[in-house]
């Protein structure tokens, strides 16, 4: 007999609490049990994986978005084709009506930051598990009614599932003008503000100019890289710490703990590290709770920094999410420039720099957008010094007239040539 959705959420809450205790007690045993269960209950139903029962994780091929989408029909366990699923998802985006499902499965599109759009599936049980995870690990439980302002490029049944008698979920469409958002926020007076850093910065500016007057008790950054400079401005403006949620098409991967450190949800994720240097790595993720669209050894495009935390959890700590591999520039002489190097050079050039963008035009030419000429001069000199220090010489830095960005898309401060 099918459980009502709210009971499914409650049951998922219990399962997640048990899962966390099991992992914290014995991580290796927990991973082994979950992997075996995943093979028996999920991969056995996937046309692509059903004949690989009993194989070790390392025997499965590493895949990226291209392979994940190419093999969509064979990976998913719902009998859906990419064509029919994409058709429904695209129509929802165009109409801005995100309620339609396909055979009871929720569909969603990624923003396509890396150049090609991803499609995700979520069954009702997976939606319930996601809601339970959000309530348990991100929002926290409270008997007080809380109003959540959620800024997204696109809504989804997945996100609206959080709505309840204790949580008033309000979707704010990023494609709509900021003035309308400010008016709605002043009326709503949200307890929780969720949005990408580029949007949160604009709201902080409106708050400082007295156009916006809200007092959220929790602010959560999603979708984009949260730089230390942006975090400082947002936190100081609203008087609360900025928490982070690490989520993408591939699932809910991590969130900030009470100490302010991001932890990956290793009680349902197997995370392999592809090291770039002594602190940076690319995660290769296997999600042991995704059943409609199994994620097995998926190589992310993100650069994470390994970290430590004093909260006591044995789940992997991340000191920061630096950006995507698409943001790593390779300059003349095969000099690698990580996005963090660029951010630090610009942040240290002038204390008043808030809005900037760096776009690589070629292996020896960079465009820099900063509206203020004095700040631009300082940042340009700082970038030139950085490039020389790294061994890249004769790199031209030219002035960009505007930001490379359009409403509704993720804002990227740094664009590398190959992206």
> How many CB atoms within 10 Å of residue 101?
16
User: pLDDT by residue (tens digit) across 293-318?
Assistant: 999 999 998 999 999 999 999 999 99
419 — pLDDT class (breaks 50, 70, 90)? very low
What is the tens place of the pLDDT at every residue in 131-145? 889 888 998 877 788
Cβ atoms within 10 A of the Cβ of 407, count? 13
* Domain shared by 103 and 186, yes or no: no
Note whether residue 25 is domain-resident: yes
Query: 152 and 245: one domain?
Result: yes
Q: Where residue 38 falls among pLDDT bands split at 50, 70, 90? A: very high
The CATH number of residue 243's host domain is 3.40.50.980
Distance from C-alpha of 366 to C-alpha of 234, rounded to nearest angstrom: 28
Assess whether 224 and 178 both reside in one domain. yes
pLDDT in tens, 145-173: 889 998 876 655 555 556 666 778 888 88
For the cut 90, the answer to whether the pLDDT of residue 248 exceeds it is no
Of residues 79 and 177, more confidence is placed in 79
- 206 burial (CB, 10 Å; 0-12 / 13-18 / 19+) is buried
DSSP3 helix / strand / coil % (the chain, rounded to 5): 35, 25, 40
Chain segment 1-13, per-residue pLDDT in tens: 667 877 888 899 9
Asked, for residue 317, whether it belongs to a domain, the answer is no
- In terms of phi and psi (left: phi > 0; alpha: psi -120 to 50; beta: otherwise), the region of 189 is left
Task: Over range 23-49, report the average pLDDT.
Answer: 96
Alpha carbons 237 and 206: distance in angstroms, whole number: 10
Per-residue pLDDT tens over the stretch 343-383 = 889 988 888 888 899 999 999 999 999 989 999 999 999 99
Comparing 41-50, 90-99, 369-378, 409-418, which segment has the lowest mean pLDDT? 90-99
Query: Are 152 and 188 found together in one domain?
Result: yes
pLDDT of residue 27 exceeding 90 = yes
Q: Which of 234, 249, 264 is the last residue of a domain?
A: 249
Same domain as 176, residue 116: no
| Domains identified in the chain, total number | 3
Residue 107 in any domain: the answer is yes
Q: How far apart are CA 51 and CA 65, in angstroms?
A: 23
The answer to the question of residue 380 being in a domain is: yes
What's 385's domain CATH number?
3.30.300.30
**pLDDT for position 95:** 66
> Could you tell me the residue range of the domain that residue 38 belongs to?
5-122
- Residue 2 sits at φ, ψ, to 5 deg, of -75, 130
Q: Are residues 160 and 79 in the same domain?
A: no
73 and 45 in a common domain: yes
Domain-located, residue 74: yes
**% pLDDT > 90, the chain:** 53
pLDDT of residue 309: 96
């Amino acid at each position: 007999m099918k459980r009502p959705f709210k009971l499914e959420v409650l049951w998922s809450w219990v399962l997640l609490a048990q899962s966390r205790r099991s992992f914290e007690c014995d991580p290796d045993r927990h991973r082994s049990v979950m992997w075996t269960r995943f093979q028996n209950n999920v991969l056995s139903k996937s046309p692509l994986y059903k004949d690989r029962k009993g194989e070790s994780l390392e025997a499965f091929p590493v895949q990226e978005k291209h392979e994940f989408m190419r093999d969509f029909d064979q990976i998913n366990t719902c009998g859906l084709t990419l064509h029919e699923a994409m058709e429904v998802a695209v129509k929802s985006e165009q109409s801005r009506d995100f309620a339609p499902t396909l055979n009871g499965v929720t569909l969603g599109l990624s923003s396509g930051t890396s150049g090609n759009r991803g499609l995700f599936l979520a069954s009702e049980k997976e939606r319930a598990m996601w809601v339970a995870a959000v309530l348990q690990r991100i929002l926290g439980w409270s008997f007080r009614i809380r109003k959540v302002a959620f800024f997204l490029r696109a809504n989804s049944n997945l996100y609206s599932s959080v709505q309840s008698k204790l949580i008033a979920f309000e979707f704010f469409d990023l494609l709509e003008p900021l003035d309308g958002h400010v008016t709605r926020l002043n009326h709503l007076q949200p307890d929780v503000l969720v949005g990408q850093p580029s949007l949160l910065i604009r709201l902080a500016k409106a708050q400082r100019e007295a156009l916006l007057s809200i007092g959220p008790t929790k602010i959560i950054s999603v979708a984009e890289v949260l730089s230390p400079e942006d975090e400082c401005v947002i936190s100081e403006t609203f008087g609360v710490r900025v928490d982070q949620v690490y989520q993408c098409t591939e699932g809910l991967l991590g969130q900030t703990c009470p100490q302010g450190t991001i932890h990956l949800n290793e009680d349902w994720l197997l995370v392999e590290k592809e090291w770039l240097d002594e602190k940076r790595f690319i995660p290769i993720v296997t999600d042991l709770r995704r059943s409609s669209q199994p994620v097995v050894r998926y190589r992310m495009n993100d650069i994470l920094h390994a970290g430590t935390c004093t909260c006591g959890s044995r789940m992997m700590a991340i000191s920061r999410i630096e950006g995507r591999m698409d943001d790593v520039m390779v300059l003349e002489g095969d000099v690698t420039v990580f996005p963090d190097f660029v951010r630090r050079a610009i942040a240290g050039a002038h204390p008043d720099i808030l809005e900037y963008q760096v776009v690589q035009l070629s292996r020896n030419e960079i465009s820099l957008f900063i509206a203020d000429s004095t700040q631009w001069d300082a940042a340009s000199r700082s970038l030139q010094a950085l490039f020389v220090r790294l061994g890249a010489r004769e790199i031209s830095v030219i002035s960009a007239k505007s930001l490379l960005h359009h409403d509704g898309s993720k804002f990227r401060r740094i664009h590398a040539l190959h992206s």
